[in-house]
Structure 1
């Protein structure tokens, strides 16, 4: 059992019209799929799920989905939101087998940026190239997030995926594909320095700034 339990109910009526009526009633249509069982349409409470969706664990933690008293271990795989209203339109949950390795997306947490040499230098820009990473592990080992320590980050430094300490049992599959997949996670670069143009002094004009025709004309006049 996980630490997070979500209540749901089974639904027998599907289709756009039925889903629209559910949303008007403050409910969210959803689907559970995967494993040996057939896909199961369910419905969840909009208000409770919206509150849960404000937490990071909702996206990267194995959830206990209680459907009419029957509990299944699931992982959120997709969420469709309304383009401008605070409404969740649909959810996809994947069944989880506790004995099988799964792949999931985990959020990166950047810590100690303010005490790092780069963080203390106002002329340095700290660029976070990635905000999450795809990992593989058993469900019991899935972390809610992975910390990236920036305490020693200095100007010119780059932190790559391979340099991030991972929890026991957790791997980054892309690293097995070669060095070219060892993506940069954080880069500390020199900030752009604005150079003010020198004020132009009246009457101080170089010959190079005078059109060639004028220079020629002046030389002929002198002759």
Structure 2
């Protein structure tokens, strides 16, 4: 599912212009990449707040509509106010259908509670990594990578290579070699 959000093109740039936009309830952003020049845009802060709180907004493809023209983008950087947590600025990278993208997606462990290590041996799943970097075409970008822990035993360590990869998706760390197959979770003895 691709999220959609509306933006408005903006001409004024710089700190002063960005400050004025924020006072007007707008969040400045830049869309860059591809064969097109970077474009300065702004979003309504309440719409952006709603979008940012939607699962997958920061790790999936987002459809941005600027004055009737729609583009698919990835959120590359999101700056927040240190005290309030409000979004101050966003960098968006264009996703081209025929160009491979590199981004991070969530890791999703399933069936841990049903595993022997948890249900019979008194262990619990400890997650060590929540995101993994993948390379793929935009059309193949998964919402998350699944790790099935149904066969998990007490003391078992799950690695990146245990993630189920959809067709056309590669794990960037594993492209560097087997010694980059980092642990992402484990079944430890429960401390009760």
**TM-score band w.r.t. shorter chain:** over 0.9
Where does structure 2 lack aligned partners over 5 or more consecutive residues? none
Structure with the largest fraction of helix: 1
Max Rg structure = 1
Deviation for aligned residue 1:121:
5.5
Deviation for aligned residue 1:171:
0.8
Alignment correspondent of 1:59: 58
Alignment correspondent of 1:214: none
What TM-score comes out, normalization by structure 2 length? 0.92
Q: Structure 1 segments of 4 or more deviating over 4 A?
A: none
Is residue 115 from structure 1 mapped to residue 106 from structure 2 by the alignment?
Answer: no
Q: Give the paired residue count.
A: 192
Deviation for aligned residue 1:4:
2.3
Closer, same or farther: CA 25–122 of 1 in aligned 2, 3 Å:
farther
Where does structure 1 lack aligned partners over 5 or more consecutive residues? 194-223
Cα separation, 2, equivalents of 1:180 and 1:155: 23
* Superposition map of 1:1-223 within 5 A: 3-120=2-119, 123-191=122-190
Contact 1:4-1:63 within 8 A present in 2 as well: yes
What TM-score comes out, normalization by structure 1 length? 0.80
Deviation for aligned residue 1:172:
0.6
Deviates more, 1:35-44 or 1:53-62: 53-62
Cα separation, 2, equivalents of 1:163 and 1:113: 14
Contact 2:118-2:154 within 8 A present in 1 as well: no
Local SS of the residue matching 1:58: coil
Taking only aligned residues, the RMSD between alpha carbons, in angstroms, comes to 1.8
Higher relative contact order (CA 8 A, sep 6+): 2
Deviation for aligned residue 1:122:
7.7
1:119-175 Cα distance to aligned partner (Å, 9 max, x none): 336853432111000000110000111122222211111111112111111111221
Deviates more, 1:182-191 or 1:104-113: 182-191
